[in-house]
Amino acid sequence: MDRLPLFLDLHKRRIAVVGGGSLAARRIEALARAGAEVWLFATAWSDEFEALRGQYHLGDLGEHNAFFGFPLVYFAFQDGEEPEQPSNLALIARARTAGALVNVADHPGMSDFITPSVLDRSPLVVAISTGGDAPLLGRMLKARLETLIPAGYGRLAALAGAGRAALGDKLANHQARLRFWERIFDGPIAEMVLAGDDAAAHALLDREIADCRPDGSAADDQPVGEVYLVGAGPGDPDLLTFRAFRLMQKADVVLYDRLVDPTIMDRVRRDAERIYVGKRRADHALPQEEIGDLMVKLALEGKRVLRLKGGDPFIFGRGGEEIEKLAEKRVPFQVCPGVTAAAGCSSYAGIPLTHRDYAQSCVFVTGHGRDGPIDLDWSTLLRPRQTVAVYMGLAHLDFLMKEFLRHGADSALPVAVVENGTRANQIVVTGNVGDIAAKAVAAGLRGPTIIIVGEVVALREKLNWYVPKS
């Protein structure tokens, strides 16, 4: 290890930045966030510094003792100002003579310290350095960590900080405290914080500290489970949210249906139990009522249950029905939204649901009820300059298009049917209200599909960007 990583407390410390360009401005921003008293030394500076007013003081390079009292000095020379120029080398020497440690941007060999790429989840901070050899690689690694460390981990660290003193009074043994925090960070309290319920997490942490045993274990050994109702999106695993992926890695058992693509199931924790609950139209492997009962049963056994649903669970996904039973039985649960089919499939088909020139509103409806096609509010659907997205309508496509016509729609109104949207086997069939049903039959569409009705469909030829792999 060529350099020792340190985290410095810069609160109210005087730190100098030399330079008037973009890099100097970024240095000031970062130092001000860390609480430093920043002094800018420059003969001229760019317009970017207008937005930084109040975050720095102006210093005078003409003063003989300009750098005295500054433990760190950052040199951020502008393009064309090489650090090796005699005047700049003299400035760097003056800073070192004053007792400061020096950083020269993009010149690690001239620097006493380097500034790493920082992932800020304060008070949790992750720093990545390549020793100045490959700063771009450091930034790329930071970007990957951004996807793995949710923003809520900072609040989780703050929660632990708030409870440290009380736990130290309760548990003198270091191993007991480690056992306690391992249990907290991998349990319901951490999930409360990550879900945004900090108040409940603090209250439960106080109880856990008060009631824990001398070895750090819980006073009540009764397991406490939880249900994660997660939207898996329309199919492309890259559309999973960070939070969805994290919950997929925590689950002990997964309840999934046919709308969840196998590539998404590959991202579930490897050793999790998997239970297929079907949900094909008119052919449910497990009736809706029994799915709710099963989630309650598994959670009461202390298991972390992932209910993985295609699209978004609260948009024609019956997610509300499923968590009603959890609420009745007082089973802890949380809901993670997903990209709904209308948004995902339209985007991958090159069809914007709204457009200033074509559609100023968009309506989501379902084309399938308990006993077949449903009676829609046609006066609402047939408004001008509006897009209609129909979920679960393929089986009744011919009926729906005839109803559009019967209620006054133009037979030339554009329509698209997107099958397996966002997936490698996506198929898009376009037409109009008068002919789309026949075209869908000719194409052999089987579902799952989303039907998009409106003038925006005409933009597909121009805006189509996605090329399926099969």
Q: Active-site residues: which are they?
A: 257, 279
Read off the tokens for 214.
């001398």
Distance CA 213, CA 216 (A): 5
Looking only at the bridges linking them, the beta strands covering 273-276 and 37-41 are unpaired
Indicate the Cα dihedral angle 174, 178, 184, 190, nearest 10°: 110
Tokens 């400035």 locate to 91
Outline where DSSP puts E strands in 122-176. Answer: 124-128
Instruction: Mention every residue, 6+ apart, whose C-beta is less than 8 A from residue 371.
Output: none
- The secondary structure element, H or E, covering residue 119 is strand 117-121
- The secondary structure element, H or E, covering residue 322 is helix 319-328
Distance CA 338, CA 239 (A): 8
Looking at the DSSP assignment, which residues form a beta bridge with residue 274? 254
Specify the long-range contacts of residues 460-467, CB closer than 8 Å, at least 24 apart. 460/349, 460/350, 460/351, 460/416, 460/428, 460/430, 462/350, 463/350, 463/351, 463/352, 464/349, 464/350, 464/428, 465/350, 466/348, 466/349, 466/350, 466/422, 466/426
In this structure, are residues 324 and 279 in contact, taking their beta carbons and an 8 Å threshold?
no
Angle at 30 between CA 164 and CA 126, to 5 degrees: 45
Read off the tokens for 138.
């450091």
Separation in Å, CA 211 to CA 168, 204, 219, 410 = 14, 10, 6, 70
In this structure, are residues 113 and 101 in contact, taking their beta carbons and an 8 Å threshold?
yes
Distance CA 368, CA 366 (A): 6
Q: Count Cβ atoms within 10 A of the Cβ of residue 408 and give its class: 0-12 exposed, 13-18 middle, 19 or more buried.
A: exposed
Q: What is the secondary structure of 34-58 as a DSSP string?
A: TT-EEEEE-S---GGGGGGTTS-EE
Distance CA 196, CA 192 (A): 6
What's the chain's length in residues? 470
In this structure, are residues 445 and 341 in contact, taking their beta carbons and an 8 Å threshold?
no
Distance CA 25, CA 380 (A): 53
